[in-house]
Amino acid sequence: MGRMRELFDVLLLAVLQGIAEFLPISSSGHLVLAQSLLKINNPGVRLEVVLHLGTLASIFIYYRATVLKLIRGGLRGDRASWLAAGHIALSGMPAVFFYLLCHDKIDAFFEDSHAVGGFLIFTGAVLCALRWMACGEGGVTAARALLVGIAQALAVLPGISRSGMTISAARMAGIAPDKAAEFSFLMSTPLLIGAALLDFTGITPASGAHALPAWLLLAAAGISAAVGLVSLALLVRTLRGGRFWLFGLYCFLAGFATLILA
């Protein structure tokens, strides 16, 4: 019975990760809530990294043309490709510094459902603000990349959606919808790869998650990748249609429900 429960927990978390990583509802926040409110056992850091690698695969599949263009352009010394890579690198710096300076305090929030509820409400407020803002249709610049990077840094807190914050910041800074979504997800790839390398090289403790069999980790990664691909396509469609702010209403409901039930 214990094995069946473990299988159920892992697969449910994989589906949840695939949905919440791309939709602006906070994957980290929902993982905390699933473990707290649904009494799902925490399988450890290694599973979380594996699930993020699954959604990372979704990004590479969905934006494969852009990724290949950047790689080929970089190898040829194309200035535009190197500039785009520089914007991605610049956008990741605020999150790295923020986590290095405050990781002890940040980790404590992952044990506090009330904090998650409050952060979900904050995410909802940011998303709903887009409803009444006039946003531009420009491209990514160094200043805009840094601004979006600062928004990404806030999303290390559970309940604050990374995609919600970065896409909202990009749109408020005047980046066009498709470019905002593309940059939001491409800028996350170095952080996801770095987290995976730290874990699998043994620098980051895996919190006992080594007990999970390899086939289960692979299955979880595959499920999060497949569900993530569908979620990513849905997000881009809603962003193009000007309905992105509607996810804010869900975040409000989820946040207040969490505060009541926690």
Give the C-alpha separation, 94 to 149, whole Å: 6
Specify the pLDDT at position 51: 86
| CA distances, 158 to each of 8, 16, 23, 146, 194 (Å) | 23, 14, 15, 22, 19
pTM, to two decimals: 0.88
**Intervals of the chain under pLDDT 50:** 1, 206-210
Specify the pLDDT at position 47: 78
| Number of structural domains found in the chain | 1
Q: What is the pLDDT of residues 104-162, one digit of tens each?
A: 788 788 888 889 899 999 999 999 998 888 777 889 999 999 999 999 999 889 889 99
Expressed as residue numbers, the domain containing 86 is: 2-261
Specify the pLDDT at position 208: 46
- 64 with 30: CB under 8 angstroms? no
Tokens of 19: 């949905």
Residue 175 DSSP one-character state: B
**Residue from 62, 77, 255, 238 nearest 158 by CA:** 255
**Residue from 152, 154, 220, 217 nearest 186 by CA:** 152
Give the C-alpha separation, 150 to 142, whole Å: 12
Half-sphere exposure of 213 (CA within 13 A, CB side): 6
Greatest Cα pair distance in the chain? 58
